[in-house]
Chain A
Amino acid sequence: MQISGAQMVIEALIAEEVEVIFGYPGGAIMNVYDEIYKQNKFQHILSRHEQAAVHSAEGYAKKSGKVGVSLITSGPGFTNAVTGLADAYMDSIPMVVISGQVPMSLIGTDAFQEIDAVGISRSCTKHNYLVTDAADLPRVMKEAFYIASTGRPGPVHIDIPKDVTAQIAEFNYPKNISLDTYKPTTKGNVRQIKKAIDAIEKASRPLLYLGGGIINANATEQVREFASMCGIPAVETFMGRGVMGDSNPLRIGMLGMHGNYASNMAISECDLVIGIGVRFDDRVTGKLSEFAKNADIIHVDIDPASISKLVNAHYPIVGDVKNVVTEFIALAKNKIKSEKYVPWLDSIAKLDKLHPLSYKEDSDRIKPQWVVERIGELLGDDANISTDVGQHQMWTAQFYPFSRPRQFMSSGGLGTMGYGFPAAIGVKRADPSRTSINITGDGSILMNIQELMTSVIYKLPVINVILNNNYLGMVRQWQTLFYDDRKSETVLEEQPDFKMVSEGFGGIGYRVTTKEEFDAALKDAIEKDVVAMIEVIVDRDENVMPMVPAGGSLFNMMLPSNSTEGSK
């Protein structure tokens, strides 16, 4: 069939079974927007900023496991979206972002709203295309979805000049695809897997180190089964929160800069690390030469470049987590005796008793950690949780009782303030039956506050719980600890009335200073089912503990001064 480039974009999205896209129109992409107007196969959500559109698509993708799609115009539309692309790239989120470009005849002339978009996106996408002929569009769209969602997922950017979206050409959407130059390895090498299982059998203090790759692979079940069958304890990364389920007795906690004491000590003392879908990020490892110093390392990852990048893997296994762990299970049956690791588990339990994750309650002021715990008690499994970036983000990772994968959406790799609210909107779109909560800070929430409008109009209510400490708290914490408490530009004295701001957009708001008020506000917000801001005035001097100073060794943690008291 002979159709325009713009129609091809629509037809391809339909063929890919896309049900929603997030975007913002403008000159160079108008041909495509005209076709969006004419169709009713998928929904277009008009975010109020291109960065937010991409974050919403990320939240949707992370929650649903599908490819997130975003549509934007050239020049400033594209540059606004770059932060979102970079965020998706760092956290391996499958995305297709389509941007308009000035007509081919104007490329290179500093035309109105021209920017070298593929030049900019090259370093923050898995792949990108500048489409110069409409006849290439079916193939490019097919490849983009395929590349975004296979292997190590990531964002793919397609830049389409305006005249190409007007050009008529033959549309024949490819059914199958095979790229000579791109063939991810999904099945692990059998000999390597055997060797790894032998190493586990020989180890006396093995430790599972579990990350975001398991969630990408939808392999939580297999990993839980393997852990319990072998009786091996597990630590999760920030991106791996929810993999084990917090009630699982084998789960020790999160490791890394703000990991709990027992997790960081366990990885320092174990004799075998079984890393699955993790990338040895510096927030996790601390000082590399001291990381898991006594251990051999098994590393399962679909991306060969992730293996031995920072820490040498003795047993590298390239493959998809689900395949590899299924093989692990088959080989470990009757071979690995879980009783063997009981003394190891006991010693970890002792470590946890020594310095449990904790905070000190205060009768006058609400502790930020309490708010997170409380949401967990009241909603637990019934909520999906997003966060912004800062102290509130770390407290959420530490204190929310996650029970399942894809329950926690947060910007880990790029650490993008402003991610949480739009992401929570995408999450609500993907999983409408659950409450979508964005736990945020008084700094971060202002970085995409305009999404109140999107949330109201599309009836995608998000409850924003603002842990208001009148600080850019995480930076303030570093200033307190490492810069003699000189609070350079981190004190947020003047603040908007968040309740009024929310109401101004058609949402609701609360300002709470007591626990009772918080419970009431949360209950009310859930009932009213519109976008809400719950501003909670919290103890502003609280620090995120434990903390491994940047570049320090994991076993040298700063601990809360009250580490044996508190509620947890």
Chain B
Amino acid sequence: MQDNLHVERRVISVIVKNEASVLSRITDLFSGRGYNIESLTVAPVPDSEYSRLTIATSGSVRVIEQITKQLHKLIPVLRVYEHTDLVEKEMAMIKFPLNESLSDIETLCNVYNGKIVNVGKDVVIAMVADEPHRIGFFLEAIKRFNPKEIVRGGTVALER
């Protein structure tokens, strides 16, 4: 399969049994086989013995196909979804010095489904939740407010 060398971004959801070291099985698979992880989030599936991992990765069609097959081959993996038509969101939190314009920050956050969530002695914390690429734009835009710290939550996704 020399064709399809074109590299694409993909979001894959993996439903795994909640058991010891299941996360390292997944991350070891990616590092051992030279696959790329752009982001990875994990949380329990409510009322079940399973967790859901959302992995954003990239690779050629062949590599993506191998990733899903190799993931499925892991014993504690129940299901693997390779999403094509999905709603994808990511959250980010940003800490600003209190001397920046709060109303400007608030307005900008609104555009990206966010708001100021905490005001402390000398810092404010804002959060936004939007598509990952839009989070990228947002983080560009807030540079001028001198953010002190940024955390991104990683992608979560659901098939439409």
Contacts and interface: CB of A to CB of B under 8 A. Distances in A.
Interface string B50-93: 00000000000010011001101101111000000000000000
A180 B77 CA distance: 9
Contacts of A312: 1, 3
Interface stretch (B21-29, B98-106, B140-148): B21-29
A269 B150 CA distance: 59
B76 A181 contact: yes
B1 A310 contact: yes
Given A122-B28, A308-B1, A308-B62, A127 B75 contact: yes
A449 interface: no
A122 B24 contact: yes
B50 to A, nearest CB: 9
B21 A303 contact: no
Interface in A106-140: 118-119, 122-123, 126-127, 130, 132
Contacts of B16: 181
A304 B69 contact: yes
Nearest to B76: A181
Interface in B17-38: 17, 20-21, 24-25, 28, 32
B118 interface: no
A118 B21 contact: yes
Given A289-B2, A305-B73, A180 B24 contact: no
Nearest to B16: A181
B2 A181 contact: no
A119 B69 contact: no
A287 to B, nearest CB: 10
A181 B70 contact: no
Interface string B1-12: 111000000000
Contact of B25 (A122, A130, A309): A122
A303 B73 contact: yes
Contacts of B65: 308
Contacts of B25: 122
Interface string A305-327: 10011111000000000000000
Nearest to A179: B75
Given A119-B24, A122-B24, A181-B77, A304 B72 contact: yes
Contacts, number: 44
A257 interface: no
Contacts of B3: 312
Nearest to A287: B2
A37 interface: no
Contact of B20 (A126, A127, A130, A303): A130
A72 interface: no
A182 B73 CA distance: 8
A180 B49 CA distance: 11
Contacts of B66: 305, 309
Nearest to A118: B21
Nearest to B65: A308
Contact of A147 (B2, B75, B77): B75
Nearest to B29: A123
B34 to A, nearest CB: 12
Q: Tell me whether chain A's interface is mostly helix, strand or loop, or mixed.
A: mixed
A414 interface: no
Contacts of A123: 28, 32
B106 to A, nearest CB: 46
A181 B78 contact: yes
A309 B60 CA distance: 12
Contacts of A122: 21, 24-25, 28
B21 A130 contact: yes
A447 interface: no
A286 B34 CA distance: 22
A122 B70 CA distance: 14
A119 B2 CA distance: 34
B17 A181 contact: yes
A310 B20 CA distance: 32
Nearest to B79: A181
A118 B24 CA distance: 11
A311 B65 CA distance: 13
B73 A181 contact: no
* Highest count of chain B CB atoms <10 Å: which of A122, A123, A181: A181
Contacts of B78: 180-181
A147 B25 CA distance: 16
A288 B2 contact: yes
Contacts of A126: 75
Contacts of A308: 1, 62, 65
A126 B74 CA distance: 8
B147 to A, nearest CB: 37
Contacts of B21: 118, 122, 130
A309 to B, nearest CB: 6
Interface in A499-552: none
Contacts of A304: 69, 72-73
B149 to A, nearest CB: 31
Nearest to B78: A181
Interface string A159-198: 0000000000000000000011110000000000000000
Contact of B1 (A127, A132, A311): A311
A126 B25 CA distance: 11
Given A180-B78, A181-B77, A181-B78, A305 B70 contact: yes
A302 to B, nearest CB: 11
Contacts of A311: 1
A311 B3 CA distance: 10
13 contacts: A181-B16, A181-B75, A181-B77, A181-B78, A182-B75, A288-B1, A303-B73, A304-B73, A305-B66, A305-B69, A305-B70, A305-B73, A308-B62
Interface of A: 118-119, 122-123, 126-127, 130, 132, 147, 179-182, 288-289, 303-305, 308-312
Interface of B: 1-3, 16-17, 20-21, 24-25, 28, 32, 62, 65-66, 69-70, 72-73, 75-78
Given A181-B75, A308-B65, A312-B1, 18 more contacts: A122-B28, A123-B28, A123-B32, A130-B21, A132-B20, A288-B2, A289-B2, A303-B73, A304-B72, A304-B73, A305-B66, A305-B69, A305-B70, A308-B1, A308-B62, A309-B69, A310-B1, A311-B1
Please name the 3 residue pairs, one residue from A and one from B, whose CB atoms are nearest each other, closest first. A305-B69, A127-B75, A312-B1
